[in-house]
Structure 1
Amino acid sequence: MKSEGSDWYKKIWSLDIKNQSWTENTAKEVDFIIDKLSLKEGERILDLACGYGRHSLELARRGFEVVGVDITKDYVDDANASAKTEGLPASFILSDLREVSFMAEFDAVLNLADGAIGYLENDAENLKIFDVIARALKSGGRSFIDIMSGDYADAHFPQKLWDNGENGVTLSLFEWDKATRIMMYGQQDFAYGEPLEKREFGGCPTRLYTKAEIAEIMRERGLTLENAFCNYDGAPASSDGIQLMALSKKK
């Protein structure tokens, strides 16, 4: 699979993502997050790499004050327009995540659908996102990240998967370099009713983390890993679960 380049995360996104199958479970995912983080109405939430704001907007509808940050202008403009139309307590900032400077302002920080974790050019840059999480949280605040699992990659990659949604089918291809901990991920989306054609997969290099790595990274920043799951049904994290959802608390 040909790489899209080290700066792929700046250029591949479009609002077509709204039609992808994995965006259909937003309400269920928000239910889970509110429950597991014991969020209380009125608390402030930071949504890093928020995309077009699907989780942020749903949280705002539930009575939370939300700030979303994303690097893609179309997403930020769309999210701000949606918040304004609905009169929601949500605002969206166009920025590279590494450049935000919140200090002890939020009760919860979310990195969902990867939340850009592992997307950056090297390990040192990727760790800066965890620095942002730690700085932004109040004492006692909670971090929730939903990423691809390095434990799963070690056990199961390379792999091909498909997801059958309401509007179409998503085909995913995963390659894995165990030495560098880099996953090469390619995805193609096919809407129902449209003619099929052969497409080439462009790969997005992503640094994956194991549960143990996340626990250590958080510990170094004054957070404690309290729980970890592999899906939004609450199953515990394992090498057989493709997702790693880590809930950590700041001291």
Structure 2
Amino acid sequence: MQKEKMGAWYSSWFDTPYYHILYKDRGHEEANSFMKRLTTFLSLEKEDTILDLACGKGRHAISLSKMGFNVTGVDLSEASIAHAKQFETDNLRFKVHDMCIPFPATFNAVFNLFTSFGYFDTEEDNLRTIKAIKQELNEDGHAVIDFMNVKNVLTNLVPSETKVVDHITFYIERYIEEGHIIKKISFKDAETSYTFKERVKALTLVDFKQYFERAGLELVHIFGDYSLAPFHEETSERLILIFR
């Protein structure tokens, strides 16, 4: 049997257990270090409020809450939020929420991390998300988008690879299609074959500057990796944007 999930890929793929199996080894230590550097740079103080937008299972939100911040993690994936809720505390909450729509509160900081942007089919929804972030910031708040550096990704694109995780063999293909970076993931489990596609718009710094201008936001800092090194278009691994 073959099952292929199409349409809004993020609303199906993220809700499967296989997404979390494939990416189970994402570095928690690196995430913790990044959160410490970022909150220090932004001069955030304990008990300040942070919105973790598209939080997944909550690894960044959990790290931030342990530092003493009041954190709300939101994600469209009901499965991810159901998992994350077991970690809720007095200063950590999780909710199912569409990031295109402004969350009904304002925060000292809004974080959108680990390439959790550019999923939508239309430019309108990308801009709606930026405008929603603007509404979620309090008067002195800053927002952060942590995105891939597209030029570096395209230069070093690995067309195909195979990963074996928890006895499942994942066959991964990467290619460019209509301005999007596509990752096609195929595998078999319990005699059923599956295919999913991750589809992320190949947004550059120029694209984000245009979003910010249209939304009435100011880009104030750009970094190129999780150590907060300067951004270099040719070589940086990440495009980390701080705006208000």
**1-structure distance, mates of 2:229, 2:55:** 24
Gaps of 5+ in 2: 188-192
Structure 1 pair 137–152 and aligned structure 2 pair: CA distance change class (3 A): same
Q: For the Cα contact (< 8 Å) 1:56–1:90, is it kept in 2?
A: yes
SS in 2 for 1:131: helix
Instruction: Return the TM-score normalized by structure 2.
Output: 0.80
1:92 corresponds, among 88, 91, 94, to 94
Q: Describe the superposition over 1:128-171 as per-residue Cα deviations: whole angstroms up to 9, x where unpaired.
A: 211111111112211111112233345444655799x9xx9998
**1-structure distance, mates of 2:162, 2:27:** 14
Q: CA deviation at 1:205?
A: 1.6
Gaps of 5+ in 1: 190-198
Structure 1 pair 222–78 and aligned structure 2 pair: CA distance change class (3 A): same
1:128 maps to which residue? 128
2:182 maps to which residue? 184
Q: How does 1:131-170 map to 2 (within 5 A)?
A: 131-153=131-153, 155-157=155-157, 159=159
Letter of the 2:180 partner, please give it.
I
**1-structure distance, mates of 2:203, 2:104:** 25
SS in 1 for 2:139: strand
**1-structure distance, mates of 2:220, 2:169:** 35
1:214 maps to which residue? 208
SS in 2 for 1:245: strand
Q: For the Cα contact (< 8 Å) 2:51–2:71, is it kept in 1?
A: yes
**2-structure distance, mates of 1:27, 1:221:** 30
Q: How does 1:1-251 map to 2 (within 5 A)?
A: 4-13=5-14, 14=16, 17=20, 20-24=24-28, 25-83=30-88, 87-102=89-104, 105-115=106-116, 117-153=117-153, 155-157=155-157, 159=159, 173-177=173-177, 180-186=178-184, 202-237=196-231, 238-248=233-243, 250=244
SS in 2 for 1:81: helix
Q: CA deviation at 1:65?
A: 0.7
Q: Higher mean Cα deviation, 233-242 or 124-133?
A: 233-242
Letter of the 1:112 partner, please give it.
L
SS in 2 for 1:97: coil
Kindly tell me the number of residue pairs found equivalent between the two proteins: 233
**2-structure distance, mates of 1:70, 1:126:** 16
Structure 1 pair 29–172 and aligned structure 2 pair: CA distance change class (3 A): farther
SS in 2 for 1:206: strand
Letter of the 1:129 partner, please give it.
T
Q: CA deviation at 1:15?
A: 5.1
Letter of the 2:96 partner, please give it.
L
- Root-mean-square deviation (CA), in Å? 3.3
**1-structure distance, mates of 2:223, 2:239:** 6
Letter of the 2:108 partner, please give it.
D
SS in 2 for 1:57: helix
Q: For the Cα contact (< 8 Å) 1:157–1:176, is it kept in 2?
A: no
Q: For the Cα contact (< 8 Å) 2:5–2:195, is it kept in 1?
A: no
Letter of the 1:102 partner, please give it.
P
SS in 1 for 2:176: strand
SS in 1 for 2:93: strand
Q: Describe the superposition over 1:46-98 as per-residue Cα deviations: whole angstroms up to 9, x where unpaired.
A: 11111111111111111111111111112112212111xxx341111112222
Structure 1 consecutive aligned stretches of length 4 or more whose deviation exceeds 6 Å = 168-171
